[in-house]
Structure 1
Amino acid sequence: MIKKLSYIESENTVPYQNLAMEEYLLLHCGKEECILYLWQNRNTVVIGRNQNVWKECLVSKLEEENGYPVRRLSGGGAVYHDLGNLNFTFLVRKDNYDVDRQLSVILEAVKKLGIHAEKSGRNDILIDGHKFSGNAFYEQGDCCYHHGTLMVNVDMGELSRYLTVSKEKLQSKGVDSVRARVANLTEYAPGLTIDKLKQKLLEAFEEVYGLEAEILKMEDLDAGEIEERTKHFASWDWVFGRKLDFQYELSNRFPWGQVTFQMKVKNGRIEDMNVYSDAMKQDLMPEIRNYLKNVRYDKKAICTELSLYWSEDKEMEQMMKDIIEWIGTVDL
């Protein structure tokens, strides 16, 4: 049961530090506490935990224009952030993790602005069929977070200039462009500012949970620990991942996301591989790499090895079954 609410706003717009603060808050959240963290990134493309940054955005163009390519802890797809976007994170322990309740804070906040919004699937919030908020989720031990975007007045031209969304993905959603899918809140609430939205979010946060929030400041946090985590999120190894001199690539889109295997084969066995995906369940893809290392490059051997996978998470088990069924149909 949640007995304490905490509210904090980031004082900077550097994405690496904001993600470091998010992880810090995740690991320092009390057992009966819910934290609402609001933050903004300037000129940033944020990719999901298991995505290939080179395929998701125009890295050179982004960096030439003083932008930031960033990898987050959670799964899901790539998103563009500028100062017309406000990010939110709910941080709680697993016993108190309630996505519907957390999303109701967002819905109530925009309702206070005279906007009727609704959830779509598990990770989008829409107005009149247009997405203004995408959400993603992460667990680490007993600690959980749910974070998302709130498009207030995002520069749509910049969004489509940096992101390289595959035609296959767009077709799967029944649209033919990035911009056709999204909308800014200012289209429905002219004159809306980031500060006003923050105010409404804090009000809705307190109303939904029935408690008054304690306001946290940056000086309340351990600056040294946040600095160490910032270095990690800014590192080449974390953002870009390891490069692999692969010979074979397999890719398929499932209802739950895209999966790409890059495999380096030596003497008929998978010597090494990368697994990329925009699936929301971020923990499955590293498991696949672990299962298939040193396995014969043969679809029967691959399917047999992957069939040994077991998880308490039935959704991940079904995802693995889907992957096995797909591998069984490809020519290797």
Structure 2
Amino acid sequence: MNRRAIYVATSHDCAANLAGEAYLIKQDLEHILYLWVNDPCIVVGRFQNPYSECNLERMDAEGVQLVRRNSGGGAVYHDKGNLCFTLIGKKDSSTREENFALVLAGLKKLGIEAELSGRNDILSQGKKISGNAFQSTATKFCHHGTLLITSDLSVMANYLTPSSTKLASKAVKSVASRVGNLSEVKPDITTKEVEDALIEAFCDKYGPTDVTMIDFKKFAEAKADYRLFGDRNLILEKTPQFTHFVHHRFSWGECSLHIDVHKTKITKVRLFTDALDTSLPERITNNLEGLSYAKTALLKASDKCRDEDVLELLTYLIEQI
């Protein structure tokens, strides 16, 4: 029996492709290479806070999908100029070292010299062209990564740079890196060339293997798990509890506001102020606690608010979220 497989996704929906990856991890195979390309999206790590990693408002306005993966690591931007690869093997025999060696071998076939940097990155000519993350199940080791080929790096900061809001969280923060495309090293490179090189490197190592094209957006097992990766409400609900800190001088006085958020809701508000009106903290707390942590919820609250001092604070918060 052939104990290896190569899959190339025809879907460009990142949540569907990650659901497909989750399906492949469960398959009784010794070695799998899975290649996939996504429409514009931000993919956050398993324990990250999208509120602090992403500009969610701009993503919504420009149709950039928010996705959460099962592996750890930082937030990344994907588009069709980026090739994702996944290598799945047995937990007791697969290693990240052999996987990195396979990817480097594939790049070398294209005449591209690259090297590992730290535990998770691949560099070429001093720039990061690949970020990688890992996850394990009881029996499988999954290594997935990106290869920047012709990605539009100019828009990356539009979505990965958060607003000026100060957020404190137990979630994992992303680390900024100097990134570059493979096209800077080999100007005429195409995604198909990189796919073919990785497939050839996989076959060199594990033996000849047929390539299966698959659309995980239509694949029943992947469709069942789609919401685990692509449902916006579920992604935000899984965000670790965090606190939004606000410091501002209002017409009624200076204010430091601590807003605790859990499962998309404002759960607790603490206000420190030099305002002369001692009833103001309680009025602000009553207007904020229980609201969804979202611009739309604050807009609705401000429309109903008849307290001018509270309304001034709500108006400011709307600009910060």
TM-score with structure 1 setting the length? 0.66
Specify the alignment match of 2:282 in structure 1. none
Specify the alignment match of 1:79 in structure 2. 76
Specify the alignment match of 2:120 in structure 1. 123
Q: Deviations over 1:169-196 (max 9, x none)?
A: xxxxxxxx95x70110001111100011
What secondary structure sits across from 2:92 in the alignment? helix
What secondary structure sits across from 2:116 in the alignment? strand
* 1-structure distance, mates of 2:122, 2:240: 37
TM-score with structure 2 setting the length? 0.68
| Cα shift at 1:223 | 2.3
CA contact (8 A) 1:39 1:86 kept: yes
Q: Structure 1 residue aligned with 2:45, among 43, 48, 52?
A: 48
* 2-structure distance, mates of 1:111, 1:123: 19
Distance change (3 Å), C-alpha of 1:164 and 1:23:
same
Q: Residue 226 in 1 paired to residue 225 in 2? A: no
Distance change (3 Å), C-alpha of 1:73 and 1:247:
closer
Specify the alignment match of 2:187 in structure 1. 190
CA contact (8 A) 2:14 2:67 kept: yes
Aligned length: 241
| Cα shift at 1:217 | 3.6
The amino acid across from 1:10 in the alignment is: A
Q: Structure 1 runs of 4+ off > 3 angstroms?
A: 219-222, 242-249
| Cα shift at 1:84 | 0.4
Q: Deviations over 1:67-123 (max 9, x none)?
A: 101110000000000100000000112022111111111101111111110011110
* 2-structure distance, mates of 1:78, 1:46: 6
Q: Deviations over 1:31-51 (max 9, x none)?
A: xx2100000111100000000
* 2-structure distance, mates of 1:181, 1:138: 25
Counterparts of 1:94-113 in structure 2 under 5 Å? Answer: 94-113=91-110
| Cα shift at 1:214 | 2.8
Q: Residue 143 in 1 paired to residue 140 in 2? A: yes
* 2-structure distance, mates of 1:96, 1:151: 28
* 1-structure distance, mates of 2:123, 2:31: 25
| Cα shift at 1:243 | 6.9
Distance change (3 Å), C-alpha of 1:60 and 1:116:
same
The amino acid across from 2:59 in the alignment is: L
Gaps of 5+ in 1: 168-176, 250-261, 265-270, 273-332
Counterparts of 1:140-289 in structure 2 under 5 Å? Answer: 140-164=137-161, 181-209=178-206, 211-218=207-214, 223-242=219-238
* 2-structure distance, mates of 1:222, 1:41: 15
Q: Deviations over 1:282-310 (max 9, x none)?
A: xxxxxxxxxxxxxxxxxxxxxxxxxxxxx
Specify the alignment match of 2:17 in structure 1. 18
Distance change (3 Å), C-alpha of 1:213 and 1:244:
closer
The amino acid across from 1:241 in the alignment is: E
| Cα shift at 1:247 | 6.5
The root-mean-square deviation of aligned C-alpha atoms, in Å, is: 3.1
Distance change (3 Å), C-alpha of 1:219 and 1:236:
closer
Q: Residue 37 in 1 paired to residue 34 in 2? A: yes
Q: Deviations over 1:3-59 (max 9, x none)?
A: 7321010011011100100000011142xx210000011110000000000110111
Deviates more, 1:43-52 or 1:59-68: 59-68
What secondary structure sits across from 1:192 in the alignment? coil
Distance change (3 Å), C-alpha of 1:28 and 1:245:
closer
* 2-structure distance, mates of 1:90, 1:46: 18
Specify the alignment match of 1:64 in structure 2. 61
The amino acid across from 1:226 in the alignment is: A
Distance change (3 Å), C-alpha of 1:35 and 1:66:
same
CA contact (8 A) 1:41 1:83 kept: yes
Q: Deviations over 1:102-150 (max 9, x none)?
A: 1111101111111110011110000122100000000122122000000
Q: Deviations over 1:230-282 (max 9, x none)?
A: 13222234321257886698xxxxxxxxxxxx978xxxxxx99xxxxxxxxxx
CA contact (8 A) 1:29 1:92 kept: no
* 1-structure distance, mates of 2:215, 2:43: 26
Structure of larger gyration radius: 2
The amino acid across from 1:164 in the alignment is: T
